[in-house]
Every structure is written in structure tokens, then in C-alpha cells.
Amino acid sequence: QHSIMGRLDLAIDDHEVKVYEYNADSASCLYECGYAQERWANAVGLEGSDPGPHLRSELTAAWRDAGIPAGAKLHLMLDDDLEEAYHARYVRDTVQEAGIRTKLIKGVEGMCWGPEGEVMDDEGERVQFVWKTWAWETVIDDYRSQTATHQHSQQRRVSLSDVLLSDGVTVWEPLWTVITSSKAILPVLWQMFPGHPHLLQAEFELSTALRNHPAGYVTKPIGGRCGKNVTMVKDGAVVASLGGGFDAKPLVYQELWPLPRMDGFSVLMCPWLVRGKCAGLVLRVDKNLITGVDSPTEVLRIVPL
């Protein structure tokens, strides 16, 4: 099963491009890239062209080719969160434009067991195809919690993992993206392509060489998101850090490569990939060194030289 979309986090200056990580299991900044920034730019009269004019059409084409049978329904599952809601509605619109029926579901609201153990929605329709905003790490944690009770699934309410780990349900993004979206892939990539000009040195165990690297190093929790529990260290001193709920997760260590600063802001470039090809760009900015969940987007325009 192919992935539909994912987002890279890049540090780009006048000379180099460095990959921070690949968010293969996140919808953050999708709506901003495909809808909001163009209207924002037009409203304030910014010159230049939209860096994501084809994102919506590329997503629609990807859903049209996703293998969902005619007449089937895609259930879009999201948490009770405002940001997830508007991303889910944006994705829903692209799915509907592909001719596919949709239904938004918060959590597992209204879901129940069918007579043959299948998962049903509140309209009595079987759940077979799902797009989700939930991170796979959350789903796996839910599975561990459910199995710890030693209770057969159909003797309790439908849980998140019952739906998303069911053999009878196809999910986007697929389960294998838990690997590509994990920070644990960063040391693996460095081992496979040591010295690659677009990669940063990354390790599972902090080596003396990286500890003493003149640029410094960053610690990242393997399952972390939105900059949470990231720490930057240079010359043995912490220069920046964010708290969060991932402090118990194993860490990876990555060469410190600060984002370029413009007008007092760190600027993170985020290309959106649809079916493996770039379909749009969006910027995240912050006065701090680490980009976090509340770091705003900024309008990006392409201006010919």
C-alpha cells in the first residue's frame, strides 16, 4: 500500500539544504500550504506566485488512484482538536473531489461491533477505509493498553487500535510509515549514506566525536512530535530546549544545524510530498531556536529573479 502524503522539515540557506526529519504520519501545515497562504497573500497584496498551487489537485488525483472501490466510504478519524479538524476537512474536500464518499469521526464516536466482528459506524456502514490524524505511536500505545486487560475485543467498546489495526481496514497513512516518520530512521540513514551532503550526522548512542562536534548536537525523542523534548547542546551547555510528554522515550542524537535567521526568526522550510513528489511548500517561523507546536506559519511566495 502506497503513502498519500508526507512533509519534510528542511534547513535551507544560500548554500546548503539539510534534512531535519520526515513527517510521514502528520497533517500539520497541510491546510496552510494548500489553502490559507494563497488567500493570505492575496488579501495583503503580496507579489509572487503560490508555492503550492497544485497541492489540492495532486491530493485529489492520489485519492482517485488509491484503490478505494466505487461507492465505498472513507472515514476520516480525528481527535477532538481544532487544528486536526480543519486539516481533516481540507483532506475530506480533496477526497470528495475524487468522487469518494466521506464521513468525519471524532475519536471512535458512534462506532460499534458488527455481527461478524467488523467495525461499523453510527449509520450501520462497515468501516473499511480510513484516513487518520492520530499518530501511529498513539495507536500502538492504545493497543498495548487494551491487550493489558486480557479482554476479548468484542466484549468491550471499540477502541482506536481496534479500528486502525484491523485486518479488514485499510488506513492512510499506512502502518509502515511508523518507521519513516520515526526519528530512529535518522541514524539508519546516516549509516547507509555517511557524509551525504543533505543529511546530518545522527546516532543512537552519543559518540565522543558528536559530543565534541564544533557545531554541537541535538537530542530528539524517537517518537516525539512538534519539537517536544528536543534539546540543543553546544560546548557542553544547553542552548535551547522544549518540554513535553515524550521525556520517557528513547533518544537519538543529531548534529546541530541551526535554522537560518531572518528578521529575528528561525525559518523552517516544509515541502509537502504527494505520492513522493513535491506538491507545495510552507514556512514555519519562530523567535526561538526550536520550532514547536505553536510556531506560526508565514506566507511564502515565489518571486522570479
Assigned C-alpha cell, 168: 479488514
Q: What is the pLDDT of residue 292?
A: 86
Quick one: pLDDT at residue 249? 85
How is residue 112 written as a grid cell?
A: 460499534
| pLDDT score for 154 | 61
Three-point CA angle 121, 78, 178, nearest 5° = 110
pLDDT at residue 152, as a whole number: 57
Note the helical H segments in 153-202.
160-164, 177-180, 185-192
Residue 17: per-residue pLDDT: 97
pLDDT at residue 209, as a whole number: 95
Considering the entire predicted model, what is its pTM? 0.91
pLDDT at 87: 95
> Is the Cβ–Cβ distance between 282 and 272 less than 8 Å?
yes
Question: What integer pLDDT is reported at residue 153 of this predicted model?
Answer: 60
Q: Which residue has the cell 466505487?
A: 70
H or E segment to which residue 82 belongs: helix 82-97
Cα(180)–Cα(188) distance, integer angstroms:
11
**Among the listed residues 129, 65, 54, 76, the one whose alpha carbon sits nearest the alpha carbon of residue 98:** 65
Q: How much is the pLDDT for 148?
A: 76
Q: Are 198 and 9 in contact (CB under 8 A)?
A: no
**Distances, alpha carbon 88 to alpha carbons 75, 81, 173, 222, 298, in Å:** 10, 10, 13, 25, 21
Check residue 285 and give its pLDDT: 95
Q: What string of pLDDT tens digits covers the 305 residues of the chain? A: 899 999 999 999 989 999 999 999 988 899 999 999 999 999 999 999 999 889 999 999 999 999 999 999 999 999 988 889 999 999 999 999 999 999 999 999 999 999 999 999 999 999 999 999 999 989 998 998 888 776 556 667 899 999 999 999 999 999 999 999 999 999 999 999 999 999 999 999 999 999 999 999 999 999 877 788 899 999 999 999 988 888 888 999 999 999 999 999 999 999 999 999 999 999 999 999 999 888 999 999 999 87
∠ CA 245-250-253, nearest 5°, is: 105
Burial 205-240 (b: 16+ CB within 10 A, else e): eeeeebeebeebbbbbbbbbbbbbbbbbbbeeeeeb
All three cell numbers of 289: 531556536
- Per the rule left: phi > 0, alpha: psi between -120 and 50, beta: everything else, 274 is beta
Model pLDDT, residue 253: 98
Contact 50, 41 (CB under 8 A): yes
Nearest to 19 by CA among 255, 222, 214: 255
Grid cell at residue 216 = 554541537
